[in-house]
Structures are given as C-alpha cells and as structure tokens.
C-alpha cells in the first residue's frame, strides 16, 4: 500500500516526536539542519563501503545494501522533519523549481533524438 506524501510525512513526524520525547531531545532550527548533515554523512559512508572505496567498520557492520537503504531512509526522514519544522511546502517548491522545466526538456530531448 502506497501512502501519499502527506500521510507519510505525518507518520514520520509522529515517530520523530516520540523519539525526541523518549530521548529528551530538544529540537530547534539548528538541530534539524545538523541532523540532515549527520545523516548525509552516514549515507555517504555506507555508499563508499558498499562500493569498496572505504575501509570496513572495525565491528564488521555496514557495507550492505540494507545498511545503505537504512541510511537513505534516515536522511529522507530527517529531511521531512526539516521541511515540517521550517514550514516548507516541498510539493509546491518542486513544482516551482523542477517540474516547470519538464515540458522544455522533453521537447529538447525529442529534438535531439530526431536530429540524431
């Protein structure tokens, strides 16, 4: 079953709120941004481990597809929390920043294919 972005965002926010309460974490604007950078670093480490371009962890953990996916999920979850904390409507922002170019690039690609 696939959830809408809003449903997924609400569920992620619920987990984030419970986690912060259980671990006595006071989140502020800086905390959300710093967590994003932390999670990006962990995703980068797993990516490099999986690609064989980093030394394995001393305990033998990591370097698996599952570990990479888990870190990608952490980064995505923290991005969702950042968006919510900063009241960013990501769907509107993506429409404005990315999707407005779709027709232009489809046309350019078709021209490139047609002209070989």
pLDDT tens sequence across 77-103: 999 999 999 999 999 999 999 999 998
- Rg of the chain (C-alpha set): 19
Cα first-last separation, the chain: 42
Banded model confidence at residue 1, pLDDT cuts 50, 70, 90: low
pLDDT of amino acid 62: 85
For the beta carbon of residue 104, count every other beta carbon within 10 angstroms. 9
């Amino acid at each position: 079953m696939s959830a809408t972005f809003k449903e997924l965002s609400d569920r992620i926010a619920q987990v984030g709120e419970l986690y912060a309460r259980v671990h006595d974490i006071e989140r502020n604007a800086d905390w959300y941004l710093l967590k994003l950078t932390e999670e990006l670093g962990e995703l980068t480490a797993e990516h490099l481990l999986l690609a064989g371009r980093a030394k394995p962890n001393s305990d033998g953990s990591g370097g698996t597809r599952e570990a990479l996916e888990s870190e990608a999920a952490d980064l995505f979850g923290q991005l969702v929390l950042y968006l919510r904390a900063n009241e960013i409507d990501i769907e509107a922002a993506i429409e404005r920043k990315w999707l407005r170019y779709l027709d232009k690039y489809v046309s350019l690609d078709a021209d490139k294919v047609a002209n070989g």
